[in-house]
Structure 1
Amino acid sequence: MIPQPRSNCPINRSLEMLGDRWSLLILRDIVLHDRRSFRELLTGSEEGISAPVLSRRLTDLVEAGFLAKNEVTRGKQGRYSLTEQGLATVPLLIELGRLGAHIDPSTAHNAPRFGADPDDLTRRIAVLRKTHLAD
């Protein structure tokens, strides 16, 4: 993540914040698969993220305001929750899934099953908001 924007372009800024190889996949796993602990994110990553990279990206996502980490006592696993900014990425994740299925139809069976209907997307985000912001 790039702390200072290189331009005033909002697309550029989004890419500076989320355009690395892993950040959107971590958000995908939290949003679509409810993987919220470090261990769940590490072992559930089909793409094979390493522990050091996952640790760094989670720190970046917390510092950038996309996630919050619920602190726990030593020996217990912390849980990550979406913030409002993190929730704002949900429509982007859905559209990236649609685009990926269009680009490579063999991946279509893994595309998110919601979001085609704006009301459905709104309902799903409301459920995520209640689950993540209530923690």
Structure 2
Amino acid sequence: MGNKNISPELVQLFVGQAHGDFQKVQELLEQEPGLLNASWDWGNGDWETALGAAAHMGRKDIANYLLDKGARIDLFAAAMLDKVEIVKAIISDNSTLKDSLGPHQIPLINHAETGEATAVVSFLKSIEN
């Protein structure tokens, strides 16, 4: 399988659309499957994937679609999707991650709150300083 470059403009469009346009995300991913785990730097190291965009916007439909297609789950998506066992496992391995910031410097708990992830919100509040 050879490597091919994906245009930066297409990556930016895909990540941008993943903030809320499910149909466009589907169209773009069908057009270019390599976008699935591509990331865009909005500046100053603010890297974001489509899954990361969906996660901080509470777009479970987009997040689950991307995960079904093979996107790599991360702590922020797990928090938004209320996957409390994943969140607990990661934070038990490294407790400082409870205060970690995702794309656009959005805190982990905000991802859970945006996704109405009650189990994760409860867990994170139980371990606050």
The TM-score with structure 1 as length reference comes to 0.28
Flag the structure with more relative contact order, 1 or 2, with Cα contacts below 8 A and sequence separation at least 6. Answer: 2
Q: TM-score, normalised by structure 2?
A: 0.29
